[in-house]
Amino acid sequence: MGSFLVHGIILQHNNFREVDRLLTVYTEEMGKLQVIARGARKISSKMAGSLEPLLEVQMMFVHGRYNNTVTSVEVLNSWQPLKTDVDKVQFANYISMILDRSTRDQQRDGRIFHLYKGTLEAIEKQPFLSQQRSITIWFFVWQLLFYLGHQPELNNCLNCRIKIAAKKNFFTMSKGGVICSSCRSQSRGNVSISNNAIKILRLLISQPRDTLNNIIIGRSIMTELDGLTTSYLNYTQEGDFRINDFLLAV
Ligand SMILES: [Zn+2]
């Protein structure tokens, strides 16, 4: 039985057995972890208030034969300004859900932890208009997919390798990137992609988060990228995310 100290953000919690809670935490040191907080649903529990979703915590746990069990927890950041806005909480929980469903337990990647934390910071700070909501989710998803090994090719046709020109092109889900119109029939799951969408994708993958904040993005490009982000996430993660519907609802 070993004892571990980790820094993480709680993605979700579920009731477990009579009085316990099962927590899913994304940690800097060990990736996603499941830990049990014994007695956390008793009124007398001292830990209960420190085990809510979105709390950033430092947590000690012991690794037993069947489970990890929390022994102490300290809240480092409760994201108070974010939590006073119901829409922001809903949005942050949606980001947590994408992260939870796209990662496996104990696959360490510190970059993903910092991407998640940076996303919560952006949600907390920004006035949350529709363009910012979309950019926040695009940035999170494309960076996450990059770290999970699904970096899309955006510069050369994935089939014939010619440099992608500013004309009609397609995004192929199966190969993960752009193909030219002559190669369209060489690949499955193609969707048409505009030149502006390709340019924004290149920025999302290679530039810091704030780069896109000063760009005005037209409605049709927004819709196109909401759709492409959803499709590529679902294709690579075998998911059924409905980012477009979610963005319309918040
Ligand atoms: Zn080609």
Query: Distance, CA 205 to ligand 1 centroid (Å)?
Result: 22
Which part of the chain is CATH 2.40.50.140?
Answer: 2-77
pLDDT at position 23: 96
Which part of the chain is CATH 1.20.1440.120?
Answer: 129-249
**What would be the CATH architecture of the domain defined by 129-249?**
Up-down Bundle (1.20)
Spell out a b/e string for 31-51, using b for 16 or more CB atoms within 10 Å of the CB, else e. bbbebbbbebbeeebebeebb
With contact defined as beta carbons under 8 Å apart, do 217 and 200 qualify? yes
Query: Distance, CA 50 to ligand 1 centroid (Å)?
Result: 54
Query: Distance, CA 104 to ligand 1 centroid (Å)?
Result: 35
Query: Distance, CA 34 to ligand 1 centroid (Å)?
Result: 45
Mean pLDDT in order along the chain per 10 residues (250 residues): 93 91 96 94 83 95 92 95 94 97 95 97 88 94 97 96 94 94 84 96 93 90 95 95 86
Query: Distance, CA 222 to ligand 1 centroid (Å)?
Result: 26
Domain 2-77 belongs to what topology?
Answer: OB fold (Dihydrolipoamide Acetyltransferase, E2P) (2.40.50)
Query: Distance, CA 192 to ligand 1 centroid (Å)?
Result: 14
With contact defined as beta carbons under 8 Å apart, do 169 and 193 qualify? yes
